[in-house]
Every structure is written in structure tokens, then in C-alpha cells.
Structure 1
């Protein structure tokens, strides 16, 4: 199994919640990722490409392979910070 995933990574939960609210109001995921994410994927609009089970940390994996597609999930806490995760597809 593999999945196409985008995410926004920020340091604190409050910032993640603010961004999630902006997304709920129709903000563009890629633009918010470029402006706010602290992950190197920010320059690609948060696009992580395809990931396989076990490739990411467990909390991230659990969302990617168990939650509904095309929904903003999170904030999901990992050792890196707080993620907003959007699963584009699974195959």
C-alpha cells in the first residue's frame, strides 16, 4: 500500500489550529504550507509525494493509512511538531 500525502508542519498546536480554521474557510492548502510549514516540503506546497506504511513516524502513519481521504486531519503531534495532514489517495 502507498498514499499520496501533503502536510503542514508547525511548532505549536495553536498555530496548527489557526491554520486548520483558515483551511475550513477555504484557504489554499499549498499556499498555507509554503508560508507556514517548517518542513522542507513547504517549498512544494507541503507535498510529501508517495509514502509507504512505516516510512513516517507512527502517529503520522496512523492518520495516512486509516483516516478518510481529502480531509484535513490534525493537529497530529509528533516529535517534529504539529501536523495538518491531507491524504490525496491510497493505492
Structure 2
């Protein structure tokens, strides 16, 4: 697989990410949570990062994203930018 597509939610603190996991588990929309809580500008677009290849993202993010199945959400991923939840959609 050379390219995948994913959305993400980026927050500064681990407790915020844990709270978002609970919201997702209770059925809240990933895209709405991204718009409401993500620090990344992509949040206003539902967290959509579009398609990307290996080597385009920081290593922990890339490894988590490429390990996901389509429509699967990652566990919390920590990078130098903060804490991410990643949803692969393609």
C-alpha cells in the first residue's frame, strides 16, 4: 500500500485525548470532535489530512496510521506535536 487517507484530532494533553476516546466510544462524530477540539488547522475540515505516503508524516503518526484498517481509529498516538487520534478512511 503506497498511499492511505486519514483524518486526525490533535490535542495538547493526554487527558484531552482520553476524553475524546470516550466521546467516540459513545457514538460522537469523529469529524465534529475534530472541528470542535483539534489544534490542527485540518480540524475545520473534520480533521481530514487527505492521502499521504510513507515518509510524509512523523514516524509515530505514520506507523500508527499505516497499521490501521479502513474505518478504524487508532489508540492515542503521541508525537512532538501532541496527542493524536487517527481515523483511516482509505
CA contact (8 A) 1:20 1:72 kept: no
What is the root-mean-square deviation in Å for CA atoms of aligned residues? 0.8
Query: 1:64 Cα shift?
Result: 1.4
Cα distance per residue 1:13-60 (max 9 Å; x no partner) = 110010011001100111000000000101101000001101000000
- Residue equivalent to 1:15: 16
CA contact (8 A) 1:16 1:84 kept: yes
Give TM-score scaled by structure 2 length. 0.94
- Residue equivalent to 1:88: 89
Poorly superposed stretches of 4+, deviation over 2 Å: none
Q: Does 1:27 align with 2:20?
A: no
CA contact (8 A) 2:76 2:83 kept: yes
Alpha-carbon distance between aligned partners in 2 of 1:47 and 1:36, rounded to the nearest angstrom: 14
Query: 1:67 Cα shift?
Result: 2.6
Give TM-score scaled by structure 1 length. 0.93
Alpha-carbon distance between aligned partners in 1 of 2:67 and 2:73, rounded to the nearest angstrom: 13
Higher strand share: 1
Return 5+ residue gaps in structure 2 as ranges.
Answer: none
